[in-house]
Chain A
Amino acid sequence: MSSGLRLDRLAKTFPNGTAALGELSADIAAGAFVSLLGPSGCGKSTVLRLIAGLEEPTLGRVDWPQTRGSLGFIFQEPTLMAWTSAAKNVALPLELAGMAKTQARERARVALEKVGLAGFADALPRELSGGMRMRVSIARALVADPDVLLMDEPFAALDEFTRSKLNDDLLRLWAERRFTGIFVTHSVFEAVYLSQRILILSGRPGRLVADIENPAPYPREPGYRTSAAFNATARDILDALEEISTC
């Protein structure tokens, strides 16, 4: 299951006067993997928070053509509860929704296996590496089988090696579950590798300056990173970014 959504002239000005986001309109198809790319402070995170309902838009709205999709959110940091085990962290969304503990923990265990953390169910966050913590965070976001997965620069703090490994894992999970993925990043190469479509936002207030399709088929293998097709898409994006880098 997945849901498409439409951003309809979405804008956000904070009470202190900061215009984070200009009027952003975009249709995001059900099951698509879309990246929001742009320099820091161009309202990319604000878009995710508006979709998640964590902020109210100043103007415009988020439309759900069918029913409002269920959401998963992956933050920049793993954002785990330090006082409790990986499994209990992952079980949180289910338990908050009222699922019985034993059933929720069992599903959490399965979700942890899916992200390669079988055997770490009882580990505390501080006993895990940065990459493993992020995997727990991914498992938690996916445990309730969301229609839409919102990701706010989730791998920005990780080393290159861990990051590309997690990119592959994310694509594998997306292929299995077919959620609608909205991925915020400021890495051109990460955006190209992951996405079917890249929305480029300019600096404050964030505005859509380019909407680039990436036709490369999935599954994308690590070899794609050095292919001519990859370079062509990256070139398009860099050209679009060139135009806004002066603002």
Chain B
Amino acid sequence: MLMRGLRIILPIALFLGLIRFWEWSVVYWEIKSFILPPPSAILAVFATDGASLLGSAWTTLGTTLAAFALATLSGTALAALFASSRITEAALSPYAVILQVTPIIAIAPLIIVWVGLDNAWLAVLILAWITAFFPVLASATAGLKAVDPNLRDLFRLYRADFRQTFIRLMVPSSLPYLLAGIKTAGGLALVGAVVAEFAAASGNTDGLAWRILEAGNRLQIAKMFAALLLLALMGVALYAILSFVEWLLLHRWHGDRRRG
């Protein structure tokens, strides 16, 4: 119990201590606010530019969630297709890998030329989707392959058809793998969205990346920090929610390992 309390209290205490030190050191060493603004100045940005920042955050969050949902659905569906047909897997999996290993920032200009000139938001969505798609596909594929061979034999022995085997055996067996992939995909969707917004840039989108570029050009460092803070909060919230979903679905079956 003491350990668990410390696990929560210590990071918070450390955070508050660092903020105090930051505030104090900016004043003490007379650091210029366009190099490092004090935390109080960053907080003050929310009072002046809060509406535009939150609006941008809303845009980025929307793109992220849409890309995440698309990645989860398409990654799972493709993994299921791979599991049902080895020929499809052999034919398509190299392309999935190529898409994964090619840096997203290098694909971005192409996608933006193709779809982004009329509709920047769509280009950003596609890029974020590509970024988040692969971990879902990879983990779901690995999960579907990790089915206990004896259980598979048992299903064959009782003449289960593919649908029964898929729903009753393959989906539940692969769930822990899939959820780990989905958790990674949540974070990557945000990364992909922001990277794509940077690439699209120049006023075409109004996501948080654009606010950061804009503030950077005007040396409004406090505003950059405020935008970064929002991004970090979004990432943490996404991760926390997905971890909670994972816990909800798996804790009864896997148990709390710490308690054995």
Q: Which of chain B's residues has its CB closest to A152's CB?
A: B150
Q: Answer whether residue A77 sits at the interface, using C-beta atoms and an 8 A cutoff.
A: yes
Measured CB to CB, the closest approach of chain B to A151, in angstroms, equals 13
Given A96-B160, A96-B164, are A79 and B253 also a contact pair (CB < 8 Å)?
A: no
Q: Please determine whether A81 and B172 come into contact, CB atoms closer than 8 angstroms.
A: yes
List the B side residues contacting A79 at CB < 8 Å: 148, 150-151, 154
Flag if A126 contacts B155 (CB, 8 Å).
Answer: no
As a 0/1 sequence over residues 225 to 260 of chain B, the CB contacts with chain A under 8 angstroms (1 = contact) are 000000000000000000000000000111100000
Q: Given A79-B150, A82-B253, A126-B255, do A96 and B155 touch, yes or no (CB 8 Å)?
A: yes
Residue in A49, A75, A77 whose Cβ sees the most chain B Cβ within 10 Å: A75
* A73 at interface by CB-CB < 8 Å: yes
For A81, what are the chain B residues with a Cβ–Cβ distance below 8 Å?
151, 168-169, 172
Contact with B along A63-94 (1 / 0, CB 8 A): 00000000101010101011110000000110
Given contacts A75-B150, A126-B255, contact A54 B169 (CB under 8 A): no
**Contact of A124 with B252 in the complex, beta carbons under 8 Å:** yes
Residue B158 CB within 8 A of the other chain:
yes
Main secondary structure, interface of B, reads helix
Decide: A52 and B157 in contact? CB cutoff 8 A.
yes
Chain A at the B interface: mostly helix, strand, loop or mixed? loop
**A247 on the B face (CB < 8 A):** no
The answer to the question of A97 belonging to the interface, with a C-beta cut-off of 8 Å to chain B, is yes
Chain A residues near B153 (CB, 8 Å)? 49, 52, 54, 73, 75
* Binary A-proximity of B141-156 (CB < 8 A = 1, otherwise 0): 0000000101101111
Closest to B155 in A: A96
Could you say which residues of chain A place their CB within 8 Å of the CB of B32?
A: none
Q: How far is the CA of A71 from the CA of B154 in the complex (A)?
A: 11
Q: Which residue of A lies closest to B153 (CB)?
A: A54
Q: Which of B162-181 contact A (CB under 8 A)?
A: 164, 168-169, 172, 175
B164: A residues at CB distance < 8 A: 96
Residues of A within 8 A of B157 (CB): 52-54, 71, 73
- Closest Cβ of chain B to A64, distance in Å, is 16
Q: State in angstroms the CA–CA spacing of A97 and B253 once bound together.
A: 26
- Count chain A CB atoms within 10 A of each CB in B148, B158, B160, B169 and give the residue with the most: B158
Number of A-B contacts (CB under 8 A): 45
Q: Do B151 and A97 touch (CB < 8 A)?
A: no
Question: Does any Cβ of A come within 8 Å of B4's Cβ?
Answer: no
| B150 nearest CB neighbor, chain A only | A79
Instruction: Evaluate contact between B158 and A92: CB separation under 8 angstroms.
Output: yes
How many angstroms between the C-alpha atoms of A79 and B155 in the bound complex? 11
In the bound assembly, the distance between CA atoms of A71 and B164 in angstroms comes to 19
- B218 at the binding interface (Cβ < 8 Å): no
Contacts of A54 in B (CB 8 A): 153, 156-157
When the two chains form their complex, are residues B156 and A96 in contact, meaning their CB atoms are under 8 A apart?
A: no
A49 CA to B152 CA in the complex, in Å?
13
- Would B158 and A93 count as touching, CB distance under 8 A? yes
Per the bound structure, the CA–CA distance linking A139 and B191 in Å amounts to: 51
Report Cα–Cα, A108/B157, bound state, in Å.
18
CA distance A96 to B157 in the complex (A): 10
Sample of 18 more A-B contacts, CB < 8 Å, known A83-B172, A83-B175: A53-B157, A54-B156, A54-B157, A75-B153, A79-B150, A79-B151, A81-B151, A82-B253, A84-B172, A92-B168, A93-B158, A96-B164, A97-B159, A124-B252, A124-B253, A126-B253, A126-B254, A126-B255
B interface residues, Cβ below 8 angstroms from A: 148, 150-151, 153-160, 164, 168-169, 172, 175, 252-255
Query: What would 27 A/B residue contacts be, using CB atoms closer than 8 Å?
Result: A49-B153, A52-B157, A54-B157, A73-B153, A73-B157, A75-B150, A75-B153, A75-B154, A79-B148, A79-B150, A79-B151, A79-B154, A81-B151, A81-B169, A82-B253, A83-B172, A84-B172, A92-B154, A92-B158, A93-B158, A96-B155, A96-B159, A96-B160, A124-B253, A126-B253, A126-B254, A126-B255
For the complex of A and B, 4 pairs with smallest distance between CB atoms: A79-B150, A83-B253, A96-B158, A83-B172
